[in-house]
Structure 1
Amino acid sequence: MDLLALADFNLVARYGGFGKAARAAGRPKATLSRRVAELEARLNLRLFERGARDLKLTEEGRALFERAGRLLSELEETAAAIASGGERPRGRLRISAPLLFCQTAMGKLAADFARRFPDVRLEVTTEDRAVDMIEEGFDLVIRVNPDADETLVGRAFLRDRLVVVAPPGLTPPVGGAAVPAVVRTPADAAAWRVKSSSGPASIAIEPVLSLSSLIMIRDAVRSGVGAARLPISLVSHDIADGTLNHWGDADTPDIALWTLYPTRRLLSARVSAFLDHLRRAFPNGTPDELAAYIGK
């Protein structure tokens, strides 16, 4: 594809018309119109609906504008970085991250990143759902145990595990009795499997609260209302100081936090800088490192 024609299309789309784009760029209107028409012919697509007074992107044109704009911006940044002898991160960096990680660690991470890279405008959105990175314009996403996706690449940068904790006034159940429990919405199963030296054990539960946030669940357990399954990174300090008792590790798969980005995009200096920032914050990616970071 002709990158110059793509750049001219992007210019016209950004300004909303050939005349405005021509005045902004100091180029002939007829040249821009011809190059956009050539691009439409090459793609066999209509990119603009041309009215008597206005110009509107078609659905295909809008999709191309969204993708081409980011790619052209990254190409410009790469060329500028090479010309200046080094990559200096700059521009907008949009990240989607899960709620708990945002509540416990992202504020500090974002502030440290902003101090180190003042030319980057970092925007973090809290999302537990699987966002569409391309359609929604994210440069990087952080996800918990993500499903395999051939369009994305990434790595696990943190690991955690669930543990069963309870306030000191609540004793472990005997004889199959159910214990009052604080569960996450939607409710957990009727029993929790717990690892022990003699093999997996089962703890029957009676939900007394259903809460959507793990922070809320931890605070409710601290108040003495019941037991809960929580990430060890979130309660390790409570266990150490006796605020909560550790009844055992949950017999569930470990939790892995991944950084993901599209395979079909250049890895910009902004994304590379943030990935390095995470590696510095969590060099080994252990639950203890996350707990220490949260507790600072």
Structure 2
Amino acid sequence: MDLLALADFNLVARHGGFGRAARAARRPKATLSRRVAELEASLGVRLFERGARILTLTEEGRALHQRTGALLTELNETATAIASGGTTPRGRLRISAPLLFSQIAMGKLAAGFAARFPEVRLEVTTEDRLIDMIEEGYDLVIRVNPDRDESLVGRVFLHDRLVVVASPSVARPTDGVAAPAVVRGSFDQTEVWKVKTPDGALRITVEPVLSVSSMIMHRDAVRAGAGAGRLPISLVSHDLAAGTLVHWGDIDGPDIALWALYPSRRLLSARVSAFLEFLKSAFPTGDPGELAAFIGK
């Protein structure tokens, strides 16, 4: 396969048309059109649907763009790094991070990384939805307990756990009496939380009195005495130490793991490697206490 023709195809696909690609690259439009036509002929498939005014990728073109665009970018960056005599991280780094981690830690992390690597243009977006890293152009995503994905690799950089806490003004539940609770999601009439305490397993019956959509609102409502809540220990450890919240026990279930993920079919760029090492330096052991300390700085 002609790599120059492949690079021209990805240029056109990225800009959405021969004219825009030609202007961006300061190349003749006719040359780009000829190169793409030669690539289509060599592959025996149409890569673009050519309308009167629009140009769209075919299914085969979209697959080729997704699988080769990132690789060509990495090859170019590798060549540039070698030519410059080093592997200094530079260029754009796009990261997607979940809402809670973004609210409590990502701003400070991003500022520190930007100061250390001024040649990297760091872009961070906040979202909890499942994204397609290749399709949407992300270099790295941070996710909580992600489902297994054969197309991604990564590492756990933080652990956390859910605990049940309440304001001192909220009485601990007694037999047959439900405790008021702040919840996220469905607003059921009653729930039962399975909790581990130093004295053994405990089942706490709770009656939801308030439903919220974010962990920060959840914590603030629990702080204000609305009811008990299930919250990450890193988010409430300072309140527990200060006595503004009381620990009722740990939720009996799997721990929370924060993963940094990236596409396994890409060369790992200097930018991504640098950010992974930066995460490691920020959280050397990855335990909840490190995140709590980082939040409290």
TM-score, with structure 1 as normaliser: 0.91
Offset at 1:17? 2.3
> 1:226 maps to which residue?
227
2:174 aligns to what SS in structure 1?
A: coil
Note closer, same or farther for the CA distance 1:214–1:51 as it changes in structure 2 (3 Å cut): closer
2:197 aligns to what SS in structure 1?
A: coil
| Bigger Cα displacement from structure 2, 271-280 vs 31-40 | 31-40
1:240-255 pair list within 5 angstroms: 240-255=241-256
> 2:163 maps to which residue?
163
| Bigger Cα displacement from structure 2, 127-136 vs 8-17 | 8-17
Note closer, same or farther for the CA distance 1:28–1:16 as it changes in structure 2 (3 Å cut): closer
> 1:103 maps to which residue?
103
Q: Deviations 1:118-158 (Å, cap 9, x if unpaired)?
A: 22121111111221111221111111111111111111110
**Equivalents in 1 of 2:154, 2:24: separation in Å?**
42
Offset at 1:89? 1.4
2:200 aligns to what SS in structure 1?
A: coil
Q: Is the 8 A contact 1:22 1:32 kept in 2?
A: no
| Bigger Cα displacement from structure 2, 141-150 vs 182-191 | 182-191
RMSD value, Cα: 2.3
Offset at 1:49? 3.6
1:164-243 pair list within 5 angstroms: 164-187=164-187, 190-243=191-244
Which segments of structure 1 move beyond 6 Å, counting only runs of 4 or more?
A: none
Q: Which amino acid aligns with 1:72?
A: L
Q: Is the 8 A contact 1:15 1:21 kept in 2?
A: no
> 1:36 maps to which residue?
36
Q: Which amino acid aligns with 1:104?
A: I
> 1:278 maps to which residue?
279
**Equivalents in 1 of 2:149, 2:25: separation in Å?**
41
Note closer, same or farther for the CA distance 1:75–1:221 as it changes in structure 2 (3 Å cut): same
TM-score, with structure 2 as normaliser: 0.91
Offset at 1:218? 0.6
| Bigger Cα displacement from structure 2, 10-19 vs 122-131 | 10-19
> 2:153 maps to which residue?
153
**Equivalents in 2 of 1:101, 1:132: separation in Å?**
20
Q: Is the 8 A contact 1:89 1:269 kept in 2?
A: yes
**Equivalents in 1 of 2:19, 2:111: separation in Å?**
41
Note closer, same or farther for the CA distance 1:228–1:79 as it changes in structure 2 (3 Å cut): same
Q: Deviations 1:26-80 (Å, cap 9, x if unpaired)?
A: 5693x5444322210222221234457x562333435544554433222111111
**Equivalents in 1 of 2:170, 2:184: separation in Å?**
19
Offset at 1:267? 0.9
Matched, 1:58 2:70: no
1:195 aligns to what SS in structure 2?
A: strand
Q: Is the 8 A contact 1:179 1:204 kept in 2?
A: yes
**Equivalents in 2 of 1:291, 1:270: separation in Å?**
27
1:200 aligns to what SS in structure 2?
A: strand
Q: Is the 8 A contact 2:18 2:33 kept in 1?
A: no
Note closer, same or farther for the CA distance 1:32–1:227 as it changes in structure 2 (3 Å cut): closer
**Equivalents in 2 of 1:191, 1:16: separation in Å?**
57
Q: Deviations 1:210-257 (Å, cap 9, x if unpaired)?
A: 011111011011111111110000000000011101111111210000
Note closer, same or farther for the CA distance 1:196–1:71 as it changes in structure 2 (3 Å cut): same
**Equivalents in 1 of 2:29, 2:222: separation in Å?**
69
> 2:48 maps to which residue?
48
> 1:85 maps to which residue?
85
Note closer, same or farther for the CA distance 1:77–1:253 as it changes in structure 2 (3 Å cut): same
Q: Which runs of 5+ in 1 are unaligned?
A: none
| Bigger Cα displacement from structure 2, 265-274 vs 101-110 | 265-274
Q: Is the 8 A contact 1:110 1:122 kept in 2?
A: yes
Q: Which runs of 5+ in 2 are unaligned?
A: none
> 2:265 maps to which residue?
264
Identity of aligned residues (%): 70
> 2:292 maps to which residue?
291
2:153 aligns to what SS in structure 1?
A: strand
Note closer, same or farther for the CA distance 1:12–1:196 as it changes in structure 2 (3 Å cut): closer
Note closer, same or farther for the CA distance 1:35–1:183 as it changes in structure 2 (3 Å cut): same
> 2:143 maps to which residue?
143
> 1:132 maps to which residue?
132
Note closer, same or farther for the CA distance 1:15–1:168 as it changes in structure 2 (3 Å cut): closer
Note closer, same or farther for the CA distance 1:161–1:50 as it changes in structure 2 (3 Å cut): closer
Q: Is the 8 A contact 1:48 1:55 kept in 2?
A: no
